[in-house]
Copies of this chain bind each other. A is one copy, B any other.
Amino acid sequence: MSPPKIPALGYALLGLLQMKPSSGYDLRKVFSSTSMKTYSDSPGAIYPALNRLQKQALIRGTVEQRSGLRQRQVFRLTPKGLAELKQWITRAVTREDLVRGGQEVMLRFAFSEPAIGPAASLAILKSLETALQPHLKHLREQLQAMKAAPASARLALDCGIRSYESLFDWTRYAINTYEKEGKRGTS
């Protein structure tokens, strides 16, 4: 009934295809060669995922015949696929997103500018900033409640807190970048 929900890998593929139509092989190379190694570069993950997206009419593949080389199938977003990508990118940042380490949020942010524009990037950052504050508060309270725990467990939590603090600092920096840019545009 309801549209089947798309896993993170699916959105990663949609985002990359929006930036540049590619074959399954191209996409695998992106995953294995860039810092997107979080996602699987195995054919057993990517080709089935592309087939699923095509079945949902979010992408369309066309076979390309280049002289000499073996045929390759290049995938492009359909209008429906672009709409799906945009709605994923523009979702508000939730506490859940943060708990998972914020990797998916970063991916949404990375794609936001090419897919929608700087306004969307700024919106994600603001939403992230809002979500981070109560989350950090919660983690700090947890650390307070861990006086009795082994030192290594406390240090591990401290590490998590620091990494969210660093994320918070980055968020402020990035917001600044976009707000300056916005002023330049409207002046």
Contacts and interface: CB of A to CB of B under 8 A. Distances in A.
26 contacts: A35-B142, A35-B157, A37-B99, A38-B101, A101-B101, A101-B103, A106-B160, A107-B156, A110-B150, A110-B155, A110-B157, A112-B152, A113-B150, A121-B151, A121-B152, A151-B181, A155-B174, A155-B177, A158-B170, A159-B167, A162-B169, A162-B170, A163-B163, A163-B166, A163-B167, A165-B166
B142 A109 contact: no
B110 A153 contact: yes
B152 A111 contact: yes
Interface in A37-52: 37-38
B101 A152 contact: no
Contacts of A35: 99, 139, 142, 157, 160
Q: Interface size for chain A: under 10, 10 to 19, 20 to 34, or 35 or more residues? A: 35 or more
A177 B35 CA distance: 31
Contact of A152 (B34, B114, B152, B153): B114
Nearest to A15: B153
Contacts of A118: 151-152
Q: What are the 8 closest A-B residue pairs judged by CB atoms, nearest first?
A: A113-B152, A110-B156, A166-B166, A113-B150, A37-B99, A110-B153, A121-B152, A114-B150
